[in-house]
Structure 1
Amino acid sequence: MSEAIRWSPDLRGDAWVTYARGLAPSQLLARLPQGAIPVALGEQGGWAYAVEEAAVGTARGDDVSGPAITASADGAELLFFETRSWDPPAQFTYARGGRCVTSFGLGCGGEEDERSGDADVLAASLRAAGIIGDDRSRYEADEEFNMEGEVTIEVILDHFDAPRPPFAPTS
């Protein structure tokens, strides 16, 4: 994981990061998979957040974003980031009302172009940042541009006015 996107000072490896608008931190924790042990849990700016070390103390199975979609069933909004050091950061999902609104890969030279879900709520913001669309000049000018999804994550957090990492460890 890039040093630019450091979700928590206590994080030693890959992470699952869930933001929830409309839930308190305790409610978000109750909706995470059974056995989840966040290294950071809190609330800021109307968003609850939980940062978990991937594969530690939880059983997400193959569908790691599924719990975020399920947790949004009663109208809460959830942002979910799955990071993988071997393919950093790997996936983003935005869920609301128990449905995937949008989901896509992050970084690696344009994974954001292949989005799925019910609505394309981030397309205008991603296009304005030069991440998607016909203008590939930022990628052509700098082969390292957004390779780990750092710019995309900033665009997402700006779009939703979500708090910035790093998050303080859970005490």
Structure 2
Amino acid sequence: MASGAPRMDALEQLHSSEQERLLDAIDQLRSNGVSHHDIGLPQLIVCGDQSSGKSSVLERLTRLPFPTKDGVCTTFATELILRRTSGQAVSIVCTVTPGRNRSPVQKEHLERFRRSFSSREEFSFPSLVDEAKEYMRVGATSTTNVVSEDILWIKDTGLDLSSLTIVDLLGLI
């Protein structure tokens, strides 16, 4: 007979204060230029044909609606950092990290990109991606979809989240 204790979601089972401290330290290292290649971490890769459900998997993990337009290919990486907080308030902060080959003027322009949301209802992932794509076109030699080294960085914090970092790579596969 099963015990009366409720079953925990698999992601919930991974949550601990030690894990929070570790993830915060990794976030700090990443913000200082240390890549995932330098730190051996478990990784989950979601890949498949177009319209095979990749976005649905990512939406389930993040609770954020991913852009899903037919024939549209992401031209830059998106890093989503989900963190549980002790308070009830939801906070979503979005910035762009310029690629290493950007000029100082372009880097300064891209570092000014900052959007903040206080609820998931006011946050539109597809609109944010479109806006960031336009912002990243500064200095581009073409108006076509050029692959960018820039990274759209989204940090979502709230009481109901599991602490997880997801990187949505370019649509090259």
TM-score by length of structure 1 reads 0.28
Structure with greater Cα Rg: 2
Determine which structure has greater relative contact order: mean sequence separation of CA pairs < 8 Å that are 6+ residues apart, divided by chain length: 2
